[in-house]
Structure 1
Amino acid sequence: MDDRGRVTIVGASHQWNRTVFKSLLFLLRVAVAWFLLLLLFTALYSGIPLIGRWDFPAILFDFTVGALVFAGVLSHLRRVRLVAGQVDLDALGNRHRRQIEIPFEAGEAFDLLDAAIRELPGIEQVQSARDSLQIRARVQRPATYSYNGLGRWNPLSAFGTQHNQILATVTPTQDTGSVTLICEPQIGAWSDWFLVDEGTNLENAEAITRAITRRVADRRRGETVAAVRTATEKELTVARLNLLHAQVEPHFLYNTLASAQLLTRSDPPRAEEMLGHLIQYLRHSLPRTEDEQSTLGAELERALAYLEIMKIRMGSRLGVQVDVPETLRHVAMPPMMLQTLVENAVKHGLEPRTGGGTVWIRARRNEDDVAVTVADDGEGLSGTTSGTGIGLKNVRERLRLAYDGAASLAVVPNFPAGVAATLTVPAAHEAVRDV
């Protein structure tokens, strides 16, 4: 046999010796308590006139009770070993304390603990106070064995109670709820010297601990599944939005090139100007790296390039007014959002009108937010256009993904005519990711 085998045998032998020592110590404690009690009984018995001279009944009673106590203690030791898997003084005791950390805030931890206690077998009374985060419960002590010949004559249970009790409190901490769980017999601590609970309070403590662990694991699995589902949906949405960002509207590109081609024959300088704005627009429309954010200034340059092209196409029918302070042009903003609002204003608000109209682009800071408004005096929300609403829906979805609810889009009627769309983003906010 090698050294590792010897170490294993020596370790197992040492553990066995410790188990035997603790078992004997527990047995000795109960035996001494009953010995003193029986000694007192014998002394009182011997003091009875006439009857006290007959020693045999007292001796028979003492030996009978002693034998029953010895057998009951051995049964308790064996059952605790089966329940706990080991024998130590804490496991052998009738009273058990557990400190459990639940990774939820105190209110959620209390609800989870309350549900775990109410599902305990044999539970009879549960008094829970959510404000004080405290639970008291009474649970019937189960019959550990289906047949017990001694029944109530068993000296280890004759003077005891057939109920256990549970006291649980939740202590709020920074991010968790710290649970203090106490399971004990419904009788004073003095009884521990004479009575055993056959491991029932140990079972209760272990059962509640397992129930809490299972419920926390279920909650975590649910959160993991939801997170995976959300991540998958987010990736699909981001992929779809990135595709929309990367592509240039074919009709806009075709119409612009067609207009430039016609102008090369009739007005070459204007054709050159249109192509210059188109190049500027395309330069700002190139796909960015995954983590790169755009800025309000860069998005404004793209929008102005688009508007200059449309002004060449629409002529005097399109007016543009810009009021964006230089101090706000560095504010981070996901790409193509401002462009979508400007395109909506021109395409659905002004182009359908014979007289055209004006597009206003305005930006203001309000405490920790920056509001960018694109307004027009065109057809308005009640006008009949070919729009499907997909552009605004995509903007809202991208805001949700990028800022996790910290940004918004509001579309309202403009006075006296047209539509005003306001994009509100944090002035200093690191987006979740660039979408």
Structure 2
Amino acid sequence: MIRSFFFILRLAAAWFGVFLLLAMLSSATPGLEHQDVAPLFIIGLLVVAYVVTNAFSHLRRVRLIAGHVDRDTLANRHRRQIEVPFEAGEVFDLLDAAIRELPRVEDIESARDSLQVSAKVQRPNLYGRSRTDRQGRVHNYSRWTRNQILATVTPGEDSGSITLICEPETGAWSDWFRVDGGTNLENAEAVVRAISRRIAERRRTERVSTTRTVTEKELAVAKLSLLHAQVEPHFLYNTLASAQYLTRNDPPRADIMLGHLIDFLRRSLPRTEDAQSTLGDELDRSRAYLEILKLRMGARLALQIDVPEELRTIPLPPMMLQTLVENAIKHGLEPKPGGGTVWILARRNDHRVAITVADDGEGFNSTNAGTGIGLRNVRERLQLVYGGDAQLAVVANFPNGVAATISVPLAAREEPIHV
């Protein structure tokens, strides 16, 4: 209350001082010293009364806008410092859009290179009516003055700081004689609200995108786990059926087959939820699988492995190599009357490792094309674990068969999705 009183008193005193100075100059001017100053005094009182009325209106409107009255809210000029956790270019775009959305904004100057935006804002006629001329143009009673906005973005490390200044278009001296009716406070709050709304909208979009991505990854992991679960029981059933037959007809071979099956199952059991496998573990698993098939297929299946010992420790998603080996058997060698050979090769090239599973089977043809689920499984798992840093290439092998090559970096990305 006291602050409001002194605010009004300051404006009234400033205008009263102006008219007092005019009266003194009038009395000191030759030829005017005997003039009656009463009219000037009456005009001064009317002007002061008008200023006091505007000051009361200013106080009332500031209280409505800010909810309280203090030195900062009563001022005609307002400064805001806004920290935005985005890159400076994005912050500039938010700021520029927020200022352009202000009502009655005009003369906008936007300089992206210097990260500055300036604009003029017509001050509304808060308590009067607008009038329209014959051409339909609207003239406001307070059109003689405008507010202005100057905003600058200061780049930071992955962030930007906005310095926002809202003030009358006139010089600072005018603050002693006029009030802006809270319009600059309103402009400053409007820009801050618009920026906050856009930041919140951006955050919501990011959360929705993150949630969608997590959901898609969870669905992919669930689908891949289901595919994995569908493959193993089929192989286990066939192997146990073969072992049962060999138990009656060739017990030593049955014992060897069961030993390879135990090794395969032991290496297939998950360690922990987030554990990756290694090329060595996957190679031993595939070798056990192929040794079982060699007992079933006999001379129709040959195996050649060429993997340097130092590459056995590189990380590799589980069952990925196994999928390529199963494809080579199922679509390459089993349909071929005479069988053939499976090659497993690994080579290092700079910071990448290429792992190839090749066969000299039937190759690409319509009779053994399959559904493509296994290869799609591999590609999706590579995407989940390595992003775009890994590839799967499937080409024809010369002179017969197919060669599938997985190319992966020596180290997976920092936060892989293990499947």
TM-score normalised to the size of structure 1?
0.86
Amino acid at match of 1:182: I
* 1:41 is the counterpart of 2:37: no
- Give the 3 Å change call, closer, same or farther, for CA 48–217 of structure 1 in structure 2: farther
Q: Partner letter of residue 223 of structure 1?
A: E
How much does 1:158 deviate? 9.5
CA distance in 1, matches of 2:123, 2:104: 7
Give the AA of the match of 1:37: V
Counterpart in 2 of 1:3? none
Q: Say if 1:161 and 1:185, in contact at 8 Å, map to a contact too.
A: no
Greater displacement, 121-130 / 417-426: 417-426
Selected match of 2:337 from 349, 354, 358:
354
Amino acid at match of 1:259: S
Alignment: residue pair count: 408
User: SS of the counterpart of 1:362?
Assistant: strand
**Greater shift in the superposed pair: 347-356 or 47-56:** 47-56
- Give the SS at the match of 1:355: coil
1:418 to 401, 405, 419: 401
Q: SS of the counterpart of 1:428?
A: coil
**What is the match of residue 313 of structure 1?**
296
The change in CA–CA distance for 1:280 and 1:27 in structure 2 (over 3 A counts) is same
Matched AA of 2:360: D
Q: Give the Cα separation in 1 of the matches to 2:30 and 2:335.
A: 119
- Whichever residue aligns with residue 432 of structure 1, its letter is P
Deviation at 1:431, TM superposition (A): 4.8
**Secondary structure of 2:392 counterpart:** strand
Give the Cα–Cα distance (whole angstroms) in 2 for the partners of residues 377 and 146 of structure 1.
91
Shift of residue 120, structure 1, vs aligned partner? 1.0
Matches within 5 A, 1:271-310: 271-310=254-293
Change (3 A) 1:43 1:419: farther
**Residue in 2 that maps onto 1:434:** 418
CA deviation profile, 1:243-281 (whole Å, cap 9, x unmatched): 333454344233323333333344332222222212211
Q: Counterpart in 2 of 1:257?
A: 240
Contact 1:319 1:358 in 2 (8 A): yes
Q: What's the offset of the Cα at 1:408? A: 3.0
**Structure 1 SS opposite 2:80:** strand
Distance 2:389 2:375 in 1: 17
Counterparts of 1:139 and 1:416, CA distance in 2: 78
Q: Is 1:350–1:356's contact at 8 Å kept on the other side of the alignment?
A: yes
Alignment of 1:137-216 (within 5 A): 137-147=119-129, 161-216=144-199
Give the drift of 1:42: 2.1
Output the CA distance in 1 between the equivalents of 2:352 and 2:198. 41
CA distance in 2, matches of 1:128, 1:319: 72
Task: Report the counterpart of residue 94 of structure 2 in structure 1.
Answer: 112
In 2, Cα distance between equivalents of 1:195 and 1:160: 15
Partner of 1:373: 356
What TM-score, normalized by structure 2, do the two folds share?
0.89
Q: Does the 8 Å contact 1:370/1:426 carry over to 2?
A: yes
Q: Which residue of 2 aligns with 1:60?
A: 42
**Distance in 2 between residues matched to 1:60 and 1:48, nearest whole Å:** 23
1:161 and 1:187 in contact (8 A); partners too = no
| Distance in 2 separating the partners of 1:310 and 1:159 | 93
Question: What is the CA RMSD across the aligned residues, in angstroms?
Answer: 2.5
| Cα separation, 2, equivalents of 1:63 and 1:26 | 18
Q: Where does the alignment leave 5 or more consecutive residues of structure 1 unmatched? A: 1-19, 149-156
Point out 4+ residue stretches in structure 1 off by more than 4 angstroms.
Answer: 157-161
CA distance in 2, matches of 1:44, 1:263: 127
Deviation at 1:300, TM superposition (A): 0.8
The alpha carbon displacement at 1:291 in A equals: 1.6
What letter matches 2:61 in structure 1?
R
| CA–CA separation in structure 2 for the residues paired with 1:382 and 1:172 | 59
**1:129, distance to aligned residue in structure 2 (A):** 2.0
1:206-256 alpha-carbon deviations (Å, 9 max, x no partner): 011011111111111122222222222322322232233345434423332
**Equivalent in the alignment of 2:134:** none
Compute the displacement of 1:204 (Å): 0.6
- Partner amino acid, structure 2, of 1:136: S
1:48 offset after TM fit, Å? Answer: 6.7
Between stretches 425-434 and 192-201, larger displacement belongs to 425-434
Q: Indicate if the aligned counterparts of 1:33 and 1:194 stay in contact, CA closer than 8 A.
A: yes
Amino acid at match of 2:213: T
Q: Distance in 2 between matches of 1:67 and 1:48?
A: 31
Which amino acid counterpart does residue 91 of structure 2 have in structure 1? A
Report if the CA contact (8 A) 2:51-2:178 is conserved.
Answer: no
Identity, in percent, stands at 66
Q: Deviation of residue 202 (structure 1)?
A: 0.6
1:93 equivalent in alignment to 2:79: no
CA distance in 1, matches of 2:351, 2:224: 27
Q: Is the 8 A contact 1:95 1:185 kept in 2?
A: yes
User: Does the 8 Å CA contact 2:122/2:143 hold for their aligned counterparts?
Assistant: no
